[in-house]
Amino acid sequence: MNEILRSPRQSAVSRSPFDLFAKSPFGMLDSLQRLFDGENENSTMRVEEFVEDNSLVVRAELPGIDPDKDVEVSVADGILSISAHREDTSETRSEGRYRSEFRYGSMLRRIALPEGVGESEVKASYKDGILEVRAPMPAQKPAPETTKVAITTE
């Protein structure tokens, strides 16, 4: 069964949209960037994170994007960055009518990886409009053994 992964930064989830101090600094930057860029709900990148088979899995919805030209996935300093650029143009011609529409924009998501994830071990694939990034979870350190100390009485 899948479990949701939360980092210590994510566990302090904001209880109010105005509680900026409880959010991840990268989440705040992304939100502010989207606000200043005038992006709406249709241009944001939706992602889900979970642990499966001892790997962190991040899936991003990127329909209609050419992953070879329009998507960049990178890892630096324990942060997974997914950026994408969309340009879509459509034309419709019929009896005396012409209609042309275009959509374009950039999307960026940054996700903190668990401590100890090897940056060179992160893999990405794209299928049916979904970008899937897998990062093997680091081996957990065994809990230190407890040594019982004898108490002497005099």
Residue 2: is its pLDDT beyond 80? no
Q: Do the beta carbons of residue 105 and residue 39 sit within 8 Å?
A: yes
Confidence of residue 151 (pLDDT cuts 50, 70, 90): very high
- Residue written as tokens 């970008």? 131
* Pairwise CA distance, residues 37 & 50, whole Å: 29
Q: Tell me the pairing of strands 97-112 and 79-94.
A: antiparallel
pLDDT, mean over the chain: 77
Comparing 70-79, 121-130, 135-144, the range with the smallest average pLDDT is 135-144
What does R_g of the chain's alpha carbons equal in angstroms? 22
Residue 22: is its pLDDT beyond 90? no
User: Which of 34 and 140 is assigned the larger pLDDT?
Assistant: 140
How large is the average pLDDT for residues 111-135? 91
Percent of the chain with pLDDT over 90: 33
Amino acid letter, 123:
K
* Pairwise CA distance, residues 114 & 57, whole Å: 12
Domains recognised in the chain with CATH numbers = 8-136 (2.60.40.790)
How large is the average pLDDT for residues 84-99? 85
Whole-structure pTM value? 0.58
Q: Is 32 left (phi over 0), alpha (psi -120 to 50) or beta?
A: alpha
* Pairwise CA distance, residues 147 & 2, whole Å: 35
> Taking the CB of residue 63, how many other CB atoms lie within 10 A of it?
8
User: Which of 89 and 42 is assigned the larger pLDDT?
Assistant: 89
Tokens of 39: 């992006």
What confidence score (pLDDT) does residue 41 get?
Answer: 42
Q: Is 66 left (phi over 0), alpha (psi -120 to 50) or beta?
A: beta
